[in-house]
Amino acid sequence: MTSSALQDIIALLGCPAAGNPAQYLYERAIEASELDWRFVTCDVAEADVAEAIAGARALGFRGCLLSGRLRAAAMAHVASVSPSAAFAGAISLIEQRPDGPAGHMTDGRGIVEAVRAHVDPAGKTVLVVGADACGRAAALEFALAGATSLVVADPDAAAAAGLVEALAAVHGTLASTIEWAAPLAVPDHVGIVAICPRPSVRFSLEALRPDLVVADAILAGQLSAAAAQAADRGCCVVDGIEIHAAQTAIEFHSLSGIEPDAEMLREALEEFLS
């Protein structure tokens, strides 16, 4: 797909693309890795995602990141999808392969790897707040990481129940739902809370304990209200910056074979958001 005489190109396909830190992070990682690569950011309408993916392949791009509504829309326009992408119903990364574009979903791995820096998920019960693509990806990755059981909470009871059913079918994971309430009480047997709600969902947590690890997947310059509550109660909070840095490191390694410095990526994200 590429020639040594040409620069490899990675693209962000966003809907919308404005405000996404991907180019800022990748340019840092590319420079640190001494690669002669370039990163471009493209705003793509959802209706044009098929043409965008085909164009990136025709132009020899090494890979693409996807954001917003394009993540679900791209599912029908790649040659293959990873198990995590199939489970989540969304794609965050497209890798160009000889047999066509391959779609991956890295949100869940980013969350689990960031949490793993603080506690081993194996043997823990995990409460996943949110049953959309990010929540589904996180639930699957925690199950694969050895979580004893999962508890799912979502304002859409059918979506929560669907995730529990899918976990049982795919991995045989012990999973259950809890009723959505305001505030949302963390069950006593839960050791890790993964916050993966849609941005429009506002909620708070109660029954927080200092021994809890709370991962806030929302990328922002400050903690979400629920994660801030957890920090106030003495919980170990893994913020969206740490999670996004871990996810970017996973994606960069997938495309380059090089392990970037996650701390460097975190510092770059902090700079971007400030």
Question: 91 with 83: CB under 8 angstroms?
Answer: no
Kind and range of the H or E run holding 178: none
**What is the Cα–Cα distance from 154 to 160, expressed in whole angstroms?**
6
In angstroms, the Cα distances linking 218 to 95, 107, 184, 273 are 25, 11, 18, 13
Fold classified for 108-238: Rossmann fold (3.40.50)
Nearest Cα neighbor of 64 from 33, 80, 42 is 42
CA dihedral 226, 228, 233, 236 (to 10 degrees): 100
In angstroms, the Cα distances linking 240 to 59, 99, 137, 269 are 33, 34, 16, 10
**What is the Cα–Cα distance from 50 to 16, expressed in whole angstroms?**
16
Q: What is the pLDDT of residue 5?
A: 54
Helix (H, G, I), strand (E, B) or coil at 142: helix
8-105+243-273 and 108-238, same CATH topology: yes
| List of residues 6+ apart from 31 with CB closer than 8 A | none
**Domain locations along the chain:** 8-105+243-273, 108-238
| List of residues 6+ apart from 108 with CB closer than 8 A | 84, 88, 134, 136, 137, 138, 139, 140, 141, 142
Stated pTM of the model:
0.95
**What is the Cα–Cα distance from 192 to 211, expressed in whole angstroms?**
9
Question: 152 with 187: CB under 8 angstroms?
Answer: no
Residue the block writes with tokens 């990141």: 65
Q: What is the pLDDT of residue 172?
A: 80
Q: Per-residue pLDDT tens for 199-245?
A: 778 889 999 999 999 999 999 888 888 999 999 999 999 999 999 99
- The answer, yes or no, to whether residue 2 has pLDDT greater than 60, is no
Q: Per-residue pLDDT tens for 90-131?
A: 999 999 999 999 999 999 999 999 999 999 999 999 999 999
- The answer, yes or no, to whether residue 4 has pLDDT greater than 70, is no
- What 8-state DSSP symbol labels residue 257? S
| List of residues 6+ apart from 128 with CB closer than 8 A | 135, 138, 139, 142, 150, 151, 152, 153, 163, 194, 196
Amino acid at 20: N
Q: How confident is the model at residue 182 (pLDDT cuts 50, 70, 90)?
A: confident
Q: Per-residue pLDDT tens for 22-38?
A: 999 999 999 999 999 99
Domain 8-105+243-273, CATH among 3.30.70.2190, 3.30.1330.20, 3.40.190.10, 3.40.50.10860: 3.40.50.10860
**What is the Cα–Cα distance from 237 to 228, expressed in whole angstroms?**
8
